[in-house]
Amino acid sequence: MGFFQILKILLFLFGGATGLLVVLVSYLLQLDPEPALQLSDLDQELQNWYKRGAMVEVLDHNMFTLSEGAGSETIILIHGFPTSSFDYQQTISTLAEQYQVVVFDHLGFGFSDKPVDYTYSLVDQAEQAIQLWMELGIESAHIVSHDMGDSVLTEILSRYERGVLPDHFNTFFKSITFTNGGMKYDLINFRLTQSLLISPFAKTLNEISARNVNGNSDRMGRSQLGSIWSSTYADVARKEKDIRQIMMLNKYKGGSAITYKTISYLKDRARFESRWLRSLSNLQLPIQLMWGDDDAVSPMTIPAALAELIEQRFLTVRTIKNAGHFLALEQPQVWSENILDFVETVIKTTESPVDIR
């Protein structure tokens, strides 16, 4: 058989496969999307969390926020992707025994608005956070971030370091804690779903996923989320519950239909990383890197690289053994103890917030 005959056969087979794929995709897109979950559809724990908080209008969108505790010091907790402020439900009470603690849901996540016509860029998410903190009247804070929240916070800190934030923030930042997140883009171990949802086919794939045909999307979601828990995490029932609740909140208000938009922050990470890292290297604020050592997506090479950039006299590095990506869910007591210890140390060594950019 000659070369051209083989080529014809291959083209025929490829064309046939492509045609079948087009037919399949067209058929799937004709199916109705899975209905968005409403508040009454959620686990009672999630409904109770909603009742503890409040909706605040920020830049024409409603954001869910929850504040507990009291005192002269405030701790702000920033969640990541694809989760919500509910990540901190096992830790907030412990921190609130000594401090005011504020959590919130980014737009597109948790109980906050999930507009379809919105960019979901990290620049816009940072704007929402900045305006929310001013709306809440927070004068200064210790800030703890996770995953995508690391990048939202780094965008804000970059503006602070360059002197372009409102004067309200001149003495706002008392300490910073970054936890497991892809702060060095080239060191991220991307999950399959992450790669697919930032590909040129992301919108179509998300539309198909939103149909959740025969529960296949749910199975994929559980598998992908489960893969970034610590490999030694023993409480299977707790893990399954946490994953179920993450997925429930994603489906609330139709959030699962816009995942290809909310995950676009990954592209911003690559785009703005050089500016962010340059600002981090110039910051003169107490910074803690607290990392789980068994994270399949944001490995220990990331805090190691960051530690080389941050001025050592301002840096604290803590490793949580046998912890995966979701530190506050997997080891809430250890997480809380480390945050309290770091904040208390900063308070003891810093009499008042000083603008030392």
pLDDT of amino acid 204: 86
Alpha helices in the chain (DSSP H): 3-30, 44-52, 92-96, 122-135, 148-161, 192-197, 202-209, 216-226, 236-251, 259-262, 265-282, 301-307, 327-330, 332-349
This prediction has a pTM of: 0.91
pLDDT at 157 over 80: yes
Per-residue pLDDT, 208: 85
Q: What is the pLDDT of residue 251?
A: 97
Count of Cβ atoms closer than 10 Å to residue 16 Cβ? 10
Mean pLDDT over each residue of the chain, to the nearest integer = 91
Sign of torsion, CA 32 37 43 44? negative
233 residue type, one letter? Y
Pairing of the two strands 100-104 and 61-68: antiparallel
Pairing status of strand 141-146 against strand 100-104: unpaired
Query: Tens of pLDDT along 284-341?
Result: 999 999 999 999 999 999 999 999 999 999 999 999 999 999 999 999 999 999 999 9
What whole-number distance in Å separates Cα of residue 325 and Cα of residue 194? 15
pLDDT (tens digit per residue) in 254-277:
999 999 999 999 999 999 999 999
